[in-house]
Structure 1
Amino acid sequence: MCANWASTRNPTPATAGAGSLIRSCACITRVSPLTSKPPSMKITRMKTVHLLWLLLPLLAACSKNYLDRKPSDLITEEEVFRNIENAEKFVNVIYQSLPNIYKPRSAWALSSATDETNQAGDNSASYPDAGNFNTGSMSPANFPMQDQWAEYFGKIRSCNLFLANYDKVPVDPNYPERRSRLRGEVLLLRAYYYFNLVIRWGELPILSEVQNPFDEPDAIYYKRAPIQEVIAVILKDLAEAETLLPVNYTSRPNNWGRASKMIALALKGRVLLYNASPLFNPANDQSRWTVAAEACRAALDTALNTGYTLHGNYGEIFIQYFNREVIWSRPSPGAFGDGGIDREMNPRGANGYGNINPLQELVDDYEMKNTGLPITDPASGYNPQRPYDGRDPRFAATILYPGAMWKGRLLDPNGADAPRSGQISTNYWPRKYQLESVNLFAGTGATDRKWVLMRTAELYLNYAEAENEARGPGAAVYNAINAVRARAGMPDYGGGSKDAVREKIRRERRIELALEDHRFWDVRRWKIAETIDNREVHGVTVTGSGNVTYTYPVIEKRVFSAARNYWLPVPQSEIDKVSARNPEFKQTPGW
C-alpha cells in the first residue's frame, strides 16, 4: 500500500480520465444527453445488421463512402468489425447511456427522490419523475426510470455483439494495444450497465451472447437470475477488463473519458461495497466486507499513485471540465433552455426555473466548521438566529440560501426569488454545478462542465466504510475520513465505536457526495430508506428584516414501503412479453 495514501498530496494531475466522452475523429464529439438515443439494433436471419442508422452520425464526417450507397443498402457486420475505425465508432455509441444529471423523460434529479432536494414542480401526473417515488404513486406500467430497463439491456446487447465479432477486428499497426483496449472498454461498459440494472431491479436475466429471435424464438425468454449470479458476471467482466485497459490515458489524451483500468478498479470497489451492504447481504456475511475493503483499498491506492488526488477547492470540482480528482465523467447538459443546468437550478431572480430545491434536512446535516459538531450539539456553536454562519464550507459550495450573495445580489425568497405560481419551494437552491458567470437573461457566460461518475473522494469513503465494517475502527478508517474532511477545511474526526464510526461515515458521504446521485442508492443499500424517505420534509421561510425569523414548514409527507420500494418493478410490457413464454420470469416481489 502507498505509504501516504491518506494524504492530499499534489503530484502532476492525472487529467487523463477526467474528461469528456470520446473524440476519436472529427465527427466524434461529446454525446449530448439531450439528443434522442438510437433505436435498438435488429439482426436479420441472413446476419445482416441494420447498423447504418446507428453509425450514420458517427460516419458522416469520417467515412463518406458509406453515404454513396443506395438508401436500401445495409452495412454488414463484416464491414463494421473488419475495420478498426468502424469498430471503435460502434463502441463509442455504447457510452451514450452513461447516466447524467437529469433523468429520463424530463429534467428531474434523483436527489429529489430522496432526502436531498425537492422537485418544485411535480410533473408526475404527466410523466414519471421524482414525485412518483415520494408519493408512492407507481405501478409496473408507469414508474420513473422504467425506460432504463430496455435502454441498459440494449447497451448490453451491443456489448455482446461486439464481443461476438471481436475476432474480426484487425490490429492497428500504429497502435497495437487499440484492439484489446476496445475489448476491455466493452467488458467494463457491460459490467457498468449490469451494475446499474442490479441496483434497480435486483434479480436479472443474464444475457452473455447475441441470440437471433428468428433462429431460437423461445431461447430469448430468460428467467431472472439471483443477485449473486449477476454480481459474479459483473466481477468477471471487470477482472478481464483490468488486464486489457491502460491505467489512464496520460500518454494518449485524445482518449480521455474512455474506460480505463482505474475506472475498472473503482467500479469493482463500488460493486463489492454494495454487495456487502444490508440490502444485498441480509445475513451480514463479514467476508463480503473484507473483500470489499481490499478492493476499495486497491482502487484508492491506484488512484493516488497515478495522480487522482483530492482537488484543493471543493466547489471547483463540478465546474471545471478537467480536474485531477475526477476519475470518470460525462458531459453535462448546457446552461440554457429547458433541461439546462443553470436554467433549471437557478433562482427565479436570476431568470432560472428554480425547479430543484435542497431540503432543510440536508441543510441541517452540515456541521459547524470550528467545532466539527452537528448543530444539534449544544457545544457546536450553532446560532439559530444566524443559521448559515460558520457551517462546514461544503455547505456554501453546495447550497444557495436566503440572504446569500449570488450574481451580485442577495437572494430574497420573498421578492425576486419567490417561486412561481404552482411551485412548492424550500427557498434553497443548488450552488453545486452552477457557474456564477452564466447570465440567463443574456445567454452568456457558460462553459462546458461534466457530470461526475467517479471521483477520488468517493474512493476514500468507500474504503473507510468497508474497512470499518470488516475490521472495525482504527487509524486507516480515520485517515480516510479525515483526508476528505481536511480538504474541506473541517476538523479531524477523533473516532468512536464501530456503530458511531458507521454513522459518521454515512453522514460524511451525505455531505461530501450531496446531489451526486449517491444518496438515493445509499439509503437503499443500507436499508434505511423506510425511515429516511418515509417522513415529512421541510423548507425554510424568512420573515421580517434585521432580526429575521426563520420557520421550517413541511413541504411534503413522503412515503416508502419497505415491502416493495427497495427494488423497482419490471416494466409491465416486459412481463407481458416474457411471462407467457417463460413462467419462471417473475415480477419483483411486492409489485
Structure 2
Amino acid sequence: MRSVKNIKTTGSKTAWMFCLVMVLAFFTGCKKFIDVVPDNVATIDNAFSIRTEAEKYLFTCYSYLPDEGDFGANPAFGGGDEIWQDPTFSTINPAAMRIAMGFQSGNDPIMHYWENMYKGIRDCNIFLDNVHRVVDLEPYLRTRWIGEVLFLKAYYHWYLLRMYGPINIVDKNLPIDVTADQVKIPRIAVDSVVNYIAGLLDSSAKLLPATIQSRTTELGRITSPIALAIKARLLVTAASPLFNGNTDYNNFKNIDNTPLINTTYDKEKWKRAADACKAAIDAAHAADIKLFKFNDNLVSLSPFFQQQMTIRNSVCEKWNEELIWGSSNSPTGKYMQRLALPKLNPARLGNQEPLGQLAPTIKVVEQFYSKNGVPIEEDKDYDYVNRYKPRTIGAEEAEYMQMGYETAGLNFDREPRFYANVSFDGDKWLMQNGLWPIQAKWGQNQSRKNVFGYSVTGYFTKKITSWKFVIEEGQASSTETYPFPLFRLADLYLLYAEALNEYADAPTAEAYAYINTVRERAGLPTVQDAWSQHSRNANKYTTKDGFRAIVQQERLIELSFEASRFWDLRRWKRAIEEQNKIILGWNIAGVSPVEYYRLTPLFSQSFQVRDYLWPLRNNDILINPKLVQNPGW
C-alpha cells in the first residue's frame, strides 16, 4: 500500500478543503497540520471521480496507522521497564526512554498522537462521505473499502482512548460554516467512547472479508477477524481496573461536572469482553488462523531448538498462520533487528551493523517460569536463593549453553520461552548460519566495545531477531523483514482466559483450556499439573485471585518484547507497583564471574497515578476551555 502525504491542493475546492483542515486543526488545538490529498488531485470531486484515485485516498486513510514496529516510534517498547539502554549514548529516538525516566510533560507531551490520529479520522470521514460517488467502483469493492475505513476510524479512536482515556468523538467532519464556539467541544466519557468504537468495529466486521484473497498485493489489509480481535482488546481494556471502578478518578469530571470515568465497578463488562473474545476466536479459527509451529523440512534441528524456533518464529516468520493482524506499513526490519542482535561473529567484531543494545531488565528475565512451568520463586525444586551466583555449565546443558563456562544460576533450569526470547553470557544463539556462543564479560566478544551498541544489563533480546539475519562480507547485513505482530492468536486466547476468570467466581474449565493451549505450544505442562506438582502454592490455580496472577504472568511471558507489557501493566493498574522499582542489570564491566554477576542499579524509576494517562497539550486546553486536562497534569 502507498502512503500519500504533503500534497497541496489547487482549484475551485481549495478554499473548502483549507477551511475544513483549519477547523479540525483549531478543534484539536494543533498549530501545524499536514494536508493529505492523493497525487495532486485538485478537488475532493476529482479524488472520488474514478476508482484509481479513490483507492489512493483509501491508502491515505491507512497511512495514519502508527509505526508500531519501530522502537523509536512505539512508546510501549521503551517507555516502561521491559527493555533498557544507556540513555546517554542511544542510537535511536530517545522519546520512549524519556517516558520511562519520568520526563513526560503537559507542555510538550512525549509521543503525542492526539493531532495525528484526528487527522486520520478526518480523512476517514472524507472517504466515507464521498466513496459512493465513485462511478466505476464495483459494489463488492465499495462494501469492502467502507468496511476497511470504518475499522481505521474505530482504530484511531481506540488508539487515542488507550493513551488519553476520555476523548472527543469525531463521527462527522465539521461543516465549513461552523462557529468558533461550536468547534470547542468537550471530551466524552470513557464508557460512551468504548460503545462508539465497538459499534464501528461491529459495522466494519460485517462488511469485511474473512481472509485476504491476494497475498501478493493485499497482506496487511483489514479483515473481519482483525476487526473482531481489536473489539475484544477494546472491551477487555474497558473491563480492566484502569477504566472499571477506578476510584483514583473520583474527581475526574467534565466541565459540566459529569464523570469521565465510571468509578463504580461493573462485573458485566467482563461478560461483554469474554463474549467479544470468543467471537474473535471463532472468526480466527474459521479463517484458518492457528498457533504457529515450526516445520522446516530443509533444516534438521534437535527437539530443543525445534521448540525454540516455534517460539521465536511465531513472531519472526513473516505472515505465519498465527498472525491475526500484521503491520505491513511498520515491518520489523533491519534497523530494529540490528538494535537487538549483538555481534555474534568473532571474525567481525568491528562491524557497526549489529548493536545488541535492546537489553532486557533483570526483573523481566526473572518473570519467565522455571522448567517446571511455575514462577521461579514458587518452584520447590528451583535454587532461588542462589540464582545470582555463578554456576558452571555441565553436560546436561551443553546443547544450548557452553559447557564448562560460568554463568548465573538465574540462567539455568528455565522454561523454553526463556531460551527463545532472551540471550545471556554463556548462551548459544541459533541463527540460520550457525550456532553462536555468547560471552559478554568485559573484554569478551559480546561485551561493551564502544560508547553505544551494547547491552547495559548483560542480557539481549533474541525474540524479535529473525534467525535469517546474517552479517555478510563487505560489512553489510541482510535479513528477512516481517510485519510487526499487532495481534496474534496466543494473545487472543489469553485475553479470553482472563475475561472468563474475571467474570466467574472461580476459574473455569474453559479458561484453563485456553491458557493450557498456549502453554502446550511453549513446551510446558498444564497449569493444573505444574502448580499441583511443583509450586509451593499448590492450590493457587484453583482461586480467582490466584488464577488471575497466573494469567497475567502468562501474558507477560508469552507476549514479552512485543510492546504488550506496557499497556497490560497500565490497564491492570500494576504500573505504579512495577515502575517504582530500580532497574537492575549485571555489572557489565566485570571480568571474572564473581565480578560480573553482581546486581548493578541502572536507574530508579518513578511512576505516579497521573502517568496512567497521557497529558493533553496545555496549549490545546487554552485554545479549547471545554477540554479538561487529565488528572495530575
* Fold shared per TM-score above 0.5: yes
- 2:522 corresponds, among 483, 488, 505, to 488
Asked if 1 retains the 8 angstrom alpha-carbon contact of 2:587 and 2:595, the reply is no
Relative to structure 1, is the Cα distance of residues 181 and 428 closer, same or farther in structure 2, using a 3 angstrom cutoff?
same
Residues 107-138 of structure 1: per-residue CA shift (max 9 Å, x gap)? 676232222111333579x9762332233222
Q: Give 1:501 shift.
A: 0.4
Cα distance in 1, alignment partners of residues 37 and 439 from structure 2: 47
Q: Give 1:321 shift.
A: 1.7
Give the aligned partner of residue 458 of structure 2: 427
Cα distance in 2, alignment partners of residues 39 and 362 from structure 1: 45
Q: Does 1:249 align with 2:212?
A: yes
Q: Give 1:284 shift.
A: 2.4
Secondary structure at 2:292's aligned position in 1? coil
Relative to structure 1, is the Cα distance of residues 431 and 97 closer, same or farther in structure 2, using a 3 angstrom cutoff?
farther
Secondary structure at 1:296's aligned position in 2? helix
User: For residue 532 of structure 1, what is the amino acid of its counterpart?
Assistant: E
Query: What pairs with 1:170-185 in structure 2 (closer than 5 Å)?
Result: 170=135, 172-173=137-138, 176-185=139-148
Residues 158-202 of structure 1: per-residue CA shift (max 9 Å, x gap)? 1111111132133634xx311011111011011111111001111
Asked if 2 retains the 8 angstrom alpha-carbon contact of 1:111 and 1:520, the reply is yes
Give the aligned partner of residue 356 of structure 2: 354
- 1:114 corresponds, among 55, 80, 100, to 80
User: For residue 302 of structure 1, what is the amino acid of its counterpart?
Assistant: A
Cα distance in 1, alignment partners of residues 8 and 196 from structure 2: 23
Give the aligned partner of residue 142 of structure 1: 108
Give the aligned partner of residue 440 of structure 2: 412
Cα distance in 1, alignment partners of residues 562 and 594 from structure 2: 35
Residues 248-300 of structure 1: per-residue CA shift (max 9 Å, x gap)? 22477632211111111101111110000011101321110011111101111
Asked if 2 retains the 8 angstrom alpha-carbon contact of 1:123 and 1:129, the reply is no
Cα distance in 1, alignment partners of residues 89 and 185 from structure 2: 35
Cα distance in 2, alignment partners of residues 103 and 561 from structure 1: 26
Asked if 2 retains the 8 angstrom alpha-carbon contact of 1:118 and 1:356, the reply is yes
Residues 385-408 of structure 1: per-residue CA shift (max 9 Å, x gap)? 332233111112211211222463
Q: Give 1:584 shift.
A: 1.7
Q: Give 1:424 shift.
A: 7.4
Cα distance in 2, alignment partners of residues 366 and 533 from structure 1: 18
Q: Does 1:558 align with 2:605?
A: yes
Asked if 1 retains the 8 angstrom alpha-carbon contact of 2:457 and 2:584, the reply is yes
Residues 411-456 of structure 1: per-residue CA shift (max 9 Å, x gap)? 3242333333377711111112213432176323312211110110
Give the aligned partner of residue 312 of structure 2: 315
Query: What pairs with 1:255-266 in structure 2 (closer than 5 Å)?
Result: 255-266=218-229
Cα distance in 2, alignment partners of residues 374 and 284 from structure 1: 30
- 1:443 corresponds, among 476, 480, 487, to 476
Cα distance in 2, alignment partners of residues 527 and 507 from structure 1: 14
- 2:367 corresponds, among 365, 368, 371, to 365
- 2:340 corresponds, among 342, 345, 348, to 345
Q: Does 1:97 align with 2:74?
A: no
Give the aligned partner of residue 305 of structure 1: 286
Q: Give 1:347 shift.
A: 2.2
Query: What pairs with 1:538-549 in structure 2 (closer than 5 Å)?
Result: 538-541=584-587, 543=590
User: For residue 284 of structure 1, what is the amino acid of its counterpart?
Assistant: Y
Asked if 2 retains the 8 angstrom alpha-carbon contact of 1:129 and 1:143, the reply is no
Residues 227-263 of structure 1: per-residue CA shift (max 9 Å, x gap)? 1121121011111111111112247763221111111
Q: Which runs of 5+ in 1 are unaligned?
A: 1-21, 23-27, 60-65, 67-73
Relative to structure 1, is the Cα distance of residues 409 and 128 closer, same or farther in structure 2, using a 3 angstrom cutoff?
closer
Secondary structure at 1:197's aligned position in 2? helix
User: For residue 243 of structure 1, what is the amino acid of its counterpart?
Assistant: K
Moved more, 180-189 or 131-140: 131-140
User: For residue 400 of structure 1, what is the amino acid of its counterpart?
Assistant: S
Asked if 1 retains the 8 angstrom alpha-carbon contact of 2:422 and 2:462, the reply is yes
Cα distance in 2, alignment partners of residues 410 and 207 from structure 1: 52
The Cα RMSD (Å) is 3.0
Asked if 2 retains the 8 angstrom alpha-carbon contact of 1:109 and 1:356, the reply is no
- 1:289 corresponds, among 261, 270, 273, to 270
Cα distance in 2, alignment partners of residues 302 and 315 from structure 1: 25
Q: Give 1:88 shift.
A: 1.8
Give the aligned partner of residue 19 of structure 1: none
Cα distance in 2, alignment partners of residues 52 and 86 from structure 1: 19
- 2:544 corresponds, among 472, 495, 498, to 498
Secondary structure at 1:400's aligned position in 2? strand
Asked if 1 retains the 8 angstrom alpha-carbon contact of 2:507 and 2:547, the reply is yes
Relative to structure 1, is the Cα distance of residues 401 and 39 closer, same or farther in structure 2, using a 3 angstrom cutoff?
farther
Relative to structure 1, is the Cα distance of residues 47 and 53 closer, same or farther in structure 2, using a 3 angstrom cutoff?
closer
Cα distance in 1, alignment partners of residues 617 and 243 from structure 2: 22
Q: Does 1:393 align with 2:416?
A: yes
Q: Give 1:153 shift.
A: 0.9
Secondary structure at 2:475's aligned position in 1? coil
User: For residue 160 of structure 1, what is the amino acid of its counterpart?
Assistant: N
Asked if 2 retains the 8 angstrom alpha-carbon contact of 1:185 and 1:245, the reply is yes
Residues 196-226 of structure 1: per-residue CA shift (max 9 Å, x gap)? 1001111111111122456544332221111
Give the aligned partner of residue 535 of structure 2: none
Cα distance in 1, alignment partners of residues 8 and 501 from structure 2: 44
Cα distance in 2, alignment partners of residues 109 and 123 from structure 1: 19
Secondary structure at 2:487's aligned position in 1? strand
Asked if 1 retains the 8 angstrom alpha-carbon contact of 2:70 and 2:332, the reply is no
Cα distance in 2, alignment partners of residues 169 and 296 from structure 1: 36
Residues 566-586 of structure 1: per-residue CA shift (max 9 Å, x gap)? 11111234223x32xxx2212
User: For residue 479 of structure 1, what is the amino acid of its counterpart?
Assistant: A
Give the aligned partner of residue 5 of structure 1: none
Relative to structure 1, is the Cα distance of residues 590 and 487 closer, same or farther in structure 2, using a 3 angstrom cutoff?
same
Asked if 1 retains the 8 angstrom alpha-carbon contact of 2:333 and 2:482, the reply is no
Asked if 2 retains the 8 angstrom alpha-carbon contact of 1:372 and 1:380, the reply is no
Moved more, 444-453 or 265-274: 444-453
Q: Give 1:344 shift.
A: 1.9
